[in-house]
Amino acid sequence: MSRSFSVTLDLHPKHLLGFAIVAFLGVWPWLPFAPFSVVGDAIVAAEYAIVAISLVLLVGWVGQISIAQAALVGVGAYTTALIVQHLSVPFPANLPLAAACSGAAAAVLGAVALRVRGLYLAVATLIFGYMADEFLFHQTWFSGYGGEAVISQPLIGHQGAFPSFDFTDRRTFYYVAWACALIALYAVANLRSGKTGRAFFAVRGSEVAAASLGINVTRYKLLAFVISGVLTGVAGNLIMVGQQAASSDQFDLSVSIFYLSIAVVGGLTSLGGALVASLIFASLNEAFLRVHALNGYLDVTSAVLLAVVLLAYPGGLGAVPAMLRTRQRQAAHLLDRFQRGLRLRRVLRRISAGREVELAGMRTADAPSSHLGEPPPMQESASAPERSTATGPDEETGVLSIASFRRNRVVLDPDRTTRPPLIEAEGITVRFGGLVANDDVSFTVCEGEIVGLIGPNGAGKTTLFNAVAGLNQPSAGRVRLMGRDVTDWPVHERARLGIARTFQAIQLFPQLTVFENLMVATHLQNSTGVLAHIVASERSIRADLAARERVREVLEMLDLQALAVRPVRGLPFGNLRMVEVARAIVTGARAIMLDEPASGLDNAETERLADLLMYVRGALGITLLVIEHDVPFVTSVSDYMYVIDRGRLLAEGPPLEVQRNEAVIAAYLGQAVPSSARRDAAAGARGG
């Protein structure tokens, strides 16, 4: 299980080219004809790249708009000056210190700004940037006289003698700056492919769903702020040490907007794109300032570039590889068909087999953290549309049919008290203003049961559900999960106890594939921390592998492998419902609450869903609470039922009893019904 250095050694010409490029990049500043000003631009590009990476994380992955990055860079730069002047700590020791200061500032900003939502956050960061620009960076005690801070950087060793290391020499500093940029890139890329990255995407995709999977949304947003703050601190430190001076103009609002433009042109979510965009903007600077005829057009050009990229290519530079691959794939298919026609198939297939494997591998891996060499074991799934299997999606409709699960009929002891209660609601009353949505409702779900909660539309079922899940605060009553009183607990805490849920309006994470959606659900089972992910420690990799194993198991169990690598967006509704259930199972929950799972499904799908639920309870031993208004469905699966109408508990009991309850029937049909019609209705419900 050697993990670290199993870099495959087949030397593709592509790799050799890569090495040559890297070698050149390492050596060029010292070549005799290297223009000195371009070396300076390269350093600036590294600094841009670090800030752009911080924006990709904060804005692209977690979705929190920040217009304060330049201010945070300024904090890093000025604190570096203070550290050097007052504490005499030299570079590079002052780098982590300055980065920590910026991180702390970002934490403060985040802690306050996250109390408000969405667009307010953008305004809050705007205000911070504005305040720093006008106030903080003109205070002599902080940013020096007139907003200008100066440090002097000693030389290590004696000039001319070896060893000596002069940080003020641009060519030497080039290495330092790019080393920092590459380390930052590596660290953030590591984050992305692990638990933390998935949590970030989950927070962006659907905060409610993320919380229901145990992700502390606020904590992760704050974490994103802190990490991006640390990165900006690094950039600020490099600016101060490299230039030995900084003035407040470098950190004003327009610069924050400029940094944002770089990240956008790179495609907000792509690290590689951010890197390339940084290089582009640094070169633009050079071109527009050096070339006399272009002077004065830099602002216009950057603005136009940003606008064009946004409007025409929203994916930015990060989308370019995918676009190229699509073209390449199309070209390859055309070529293939052409060659088939020419009967050169056999010979060419051997050549193209290597390419096919790569293509299949590449189709599923879009990211800089690409996994070279080994194709995913689920290769058949990647080419599923071409072949049809019994469990593959239907060619026409794309609907994956739910394999039939054996209907595990479990016989439970009618005495409910023999089973420990997992979910208890006591006297829940929920008021919205003057409207009483739930009035003193109580129910219990005991281990091993499938409990149904039904009621006509508007009865207050979903409100009750959300009160139990933690999205509503009941005005009276207690909620107990696994025996603990959780009435005041936030949503993510409740998930820790082993409760999962599904949503009526599917809350999957749209930018991720099915597999990734399920991977998010392994969050609670993965106890590794952020730092472990950043360094990609042994433990974190192992935890990641274990998570993948678990997800694969669940996918197999539910026969969903065919969907694994498909993005969630675009899948038919029935499949999405299945995926949500699978996600709940992956969490390892002891009890799952389902909010109107049958809504949006046709009759056949509903049948299958019922089978699935029975299977989940029977084979996996998971307790279920199902809230529905489709009576036949619920009665066919439940062991015990509660009926709610107009906010009040109307009846409870085993399904047969409840079905015959006159009050219940009246509630649904609106009037008392003669007994013969009742019998027919009951028969019809069972058969449906």
Partner 1 sequence: MSQVTPPSSSPPAPGRSFPPGAGWLSVLALAVIIVGVSAIQVLPRFGPASQPIAIQGVGPGAGGTGLGTTALPSGVALAPGVVGGAAGQHGSIAKGPGVATGGGAASAQSCNSTNNGGATDTGVTATSISLASTIVNSGVGQSFLGPVQYGMQAVVNRVNRGGGICGRHLNLTVVDDGWDAARGCSDIQSFIHDGAFALPVVPSSEGLKQCIDSGVIHSAGIPVVGSDGMLFDQYQASSKADWVWPVAASTLSTMHIMAIDAYRNHNARTFCLVYDSKYHFGIEGEQAFKAEIGRLGGKLTFEEGLDPDVTDYSGPVNDWNNNCGGVDFAGMLLEPDEAGRWLSDNPTLPKGKGGVAGAQPMFSNSLTANCGDICDGIKVFTGYRPVVDPAYSNLPSVVQYENDVRAESSQADLTNQFLEGGYDGMLLVVQCLKAIGAHLTRAAVKAYLDSTTFAADGNGLTQPLTWRPGNHFANVAMKAYVMVANSGRVTGYRPDSAGFITDPNAGADAPSD
Partner 2 sequence: MELMVLILLALPLVAAYALFALGITVIFQASRVLNLAHGGMVILPAYLTYSFAKAGLPILLAVLLGVLSGALLGIVIERVFVRVLRKESVTTQTVGTVAAFGLILAFTSKVYGTTPLHMPAIFPVGFVSVGNSSIKYGALGLFGVMLVLAAALFALFRFTAIGLAMRGAAENARAALLMGINPERTTQMAWAMGGALAGVAGILLGSITDLEPFTLSLQALPAFVAVLIGGIESLPGALIGSIVVGCVIGALPGLPYVGRIQGASQLVLTAAALVVMALRGQRLSLGDMRA
Interface with partner 2 (CB under 8 A)? 59, 63, 65, 67, 112-113, 115-120, 122-124, 126-128, 130-131, 134-136, 138-139, 205-208, 211, 217, 253, 257, 260-261, 264, 268, 296-297, 299-300, 302-304, 306-307, 310-311, 314, 466, 471-472, 490-491, 503, 505, 507
Residues contacting residue 86 through CB under 8 Å, at least 6 positions apart: none
Helix (H) or strand (E) holding 520: helix 514-520
Between CA 390 and CA 187 the distance in angstroms is 43
622 belongs to the binding site for partner 1 (CB under 8 A): no
Assigned token pair, 519: 């991977």
CB nearer to partner 1: give 82 or 445.
Answer: 82
Q: Which is nearer to partner 1, 375 or 600 (CB)?
A: 375
Q: Which stretch binds partner 1 (CB under 8 A): 89-97, 229-237, 411-419, 486-494?
A: 89-97
Question: CA-to-CA distance for 375 and 513, rounded, in angstroms?
Answer: 17
In three-state secondary structure terms, 453 is: strand
Taking the CB of residue 518, how many other CB atoms lie within 10 A of it?
27
Among 101, 139, 131, residue whose Cα is nearest residue 252? 131
Residue from 12, 23, 37, 324 in contact with partner 1 (CB under 8 A): 37
Nearer to partner 1, 370 or 473 (CB): 370
Q: How far is the CB of 507 from partner 2 (least distance, A)?
A: 6
Q: Is 243 in the site for partner 1 (CB under 8 A)?
A: yes
**Strand intervals (E) in 318-434:** 421-432
β-strand partners of 443: 425
Single-letter code of the amino acid located at 365:
A
H helical segments located in 32-93: 36-55, 69-82
CA gap 394, 572 in Å, rounded: 11
| Per CB under 8 A, 172 contacts partner 1 | no
Of 107, 319, 476, 682, which lies in the binding site for partner 1, with binding defined by CB under 8 A? 319
State yes or no: residue 93 binds partner 1 (CB under 8 A): yes
**Which one among 305, 367, 666, 685 touches partner 1, defined by CB under 8 A?**
367
Find the part of the chain contacting partner 1 (CB under 8 A) among 358-366, 446-454, 465-473, 488-496.
358-366
Is residue 289 a contact residue for partner 1 (CB under 8 A)? Answer: yes
Q: Does position 246 bind partner 1 by CB under 8 A?
A: yes
- Give the HSE-up count for residue 673: Cα atoms under 13 Å, Cβ half-sphere: 20
Question: What is the smallest separation between the CB atom of 439 and partner 2, expressed in angstroms?
Answer: 19
Tell me the closest approach of the beta carbon of residue 252 to partner 2, in angstroms: 10
In the structure encoding, which two tokens stand for residue 205, read together? 């995709």
Q: Which is nearer to partner 1, 57 or 591 (CB)?
A: 57
Strands 623-628 and 450-454 turn out to be: parallel
Q: Which is nearer to partner 2, 117 or 158 (CB)?
A: 117
Report yes or no: 370 and 532 within 8 Å, Cβ to Cβ. Answer: no
Contact set for partner 1, span 559-588 (CB under 8 A):
564-565, 567, 569
- Cβ-based burial of 140 (10 A; exposed 0-12, middle 13-18, buried ≥19): exposed
Stretch that binds partner 1, among 258-266, 295-303, 522-530, 661-669 (CB under 8 A): 295-303
**Residue 33 sits in the site that holds partner 1 (CB under 8 A):** no
Q: Which x/- pattern, by CB under 8 A, does the window 512-551 give for partner 1? A: xx-xx--x---------------xxxx-xx---x--x---
**Both structure tokens of 344:** 């050169």
